[in-house]
């Protein structure tokens, strides 16, 4: 979507963040945790990224995140009393284990896990798999999926470490492993007991074959480590989808 509607992404992400920072500054609120993304790295020619990997986004979504990071770095340089954490997410999936909070995208999902769960619950006929000719274990794209509850823990750890102290920290949040599209499909089938039909489609522009993170720095700076594996991600997603087969009710 960011490739077909770049102004939407630059407006919401970049312009929206600048407006927020201005309001924060006006009221002297100078502690900020930013949801960045692994897409700021682009395709450096290798697949395991750490915080020293060059920043060179290959799609507009990643470019918008990189632009915000630059704004934050320039802001901190000009006003070093800010307390800022830049958290580069890899691929958040899953749901709260209660089944009460989950992912309910508007329209056709742009992300893999909600698409799979909607197919499993019968809302969609089949999953679209974009590309099966990548140089991965089964030809489909591989990503470092992270449970949203691990991600939430990372935010709390970042908040604890910042503690209103003037500093700027940048860390990757991921598991350090990778799962292909078809491996995720199989894991979801196992945890849900449902068959996930899929069709192979052409690659999407701006997609990289595989990437994952080295999470060492997050552990060193934040004391944070991902604890939940891919089956737990699928189990919690399926529980939420079963409890909310049509998504959240309209109000």
Place of tokens 């993170």: 213
Are the beta carbons of 174 and 217 closer than 8 angstroms? no
Report strand pairing: 142-143 vs 212-213. unpaired
Considering the candidates 9, 41, 46, 61, report the single residue annotated as catalytic: 61
- Strand intervals (E) in 39-96: 48-49, 83-89, 91-93
Place of tokens 């830049």: 86
User: Two tokens at 103?
Assistant: 């992912």
Place of tokens 């899929």: 198
Sign (positive/negative) of CA torsion 208, 209, 215, 216?
A: negative
Question: What is the greatest pairwise CA distance in the chain?
Answer: 55
Helix, strand, coil percentages, rounded to 5, for the chain: 40, 20, 45
Q: Where on the phi/psi map is residue 218: left (φ > 0), alpha (ψ -120 to 50), or beta?
A: alpha
Q: How far is CA 248 from CA 57, 81, 107, in A?
A: 33, 41, 13
CA–CA separation, 236 vs 140, rounded Å? 24
* Residue 61 designated active-site: yes
List, by residue number, the catalytic residues. Answer: 61
């Amino acid at each position: 979507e960011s490739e077909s509607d770049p102004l939407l992404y630059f407006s919401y992400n970049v312009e929206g963040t600048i407006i927020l920072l201005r309001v924060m500054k006006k009221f002297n609120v100078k502690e900020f945790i930013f949801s960045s993304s692994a897409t700021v790295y682009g395709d450096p020619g290798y697949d395991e990224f750490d915080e020293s990997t060059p920043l060179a986004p290959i799609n507009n979504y990643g470019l918008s995140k990189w632009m915000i990071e630059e704004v934050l770095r320039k802001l901190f340089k000009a006003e070093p009393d800010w307390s800022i954490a830049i958290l580069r997410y890899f691929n958040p999936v899953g749901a709260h284990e209660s089944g009460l909070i989950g992912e309910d995208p508007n329209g056709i999902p742009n992300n893999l896990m909600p698409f799979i769960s909607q197919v499993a619950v019968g809302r969609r006929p089949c999953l679209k798999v974009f590309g099966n000719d990548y140089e991965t274990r089964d030809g489909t794209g591989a990503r470092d999926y992270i449970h949203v509850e691990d991600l939430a823990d990372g935010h709390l750890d970042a908040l604890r470490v910042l503690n209103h102290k003037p500093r700027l920290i940048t860390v990757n949040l991921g598991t350090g492993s990778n799962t292909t599209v078809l491996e995720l499909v199989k894991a979801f089938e196992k945890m849900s007991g449902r068959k996930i039909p899929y069709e192979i489609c052409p690659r999407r522009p701006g997609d990289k074959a595989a990437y994952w993170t080295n999470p060492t720095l997050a552990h060193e700076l934040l004391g944070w480590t991902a604890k939940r594996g891919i089956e737990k991600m699928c189990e919690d997603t399926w529980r939420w989808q079963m409890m909310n087969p049509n998504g959240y009710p309209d109000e």
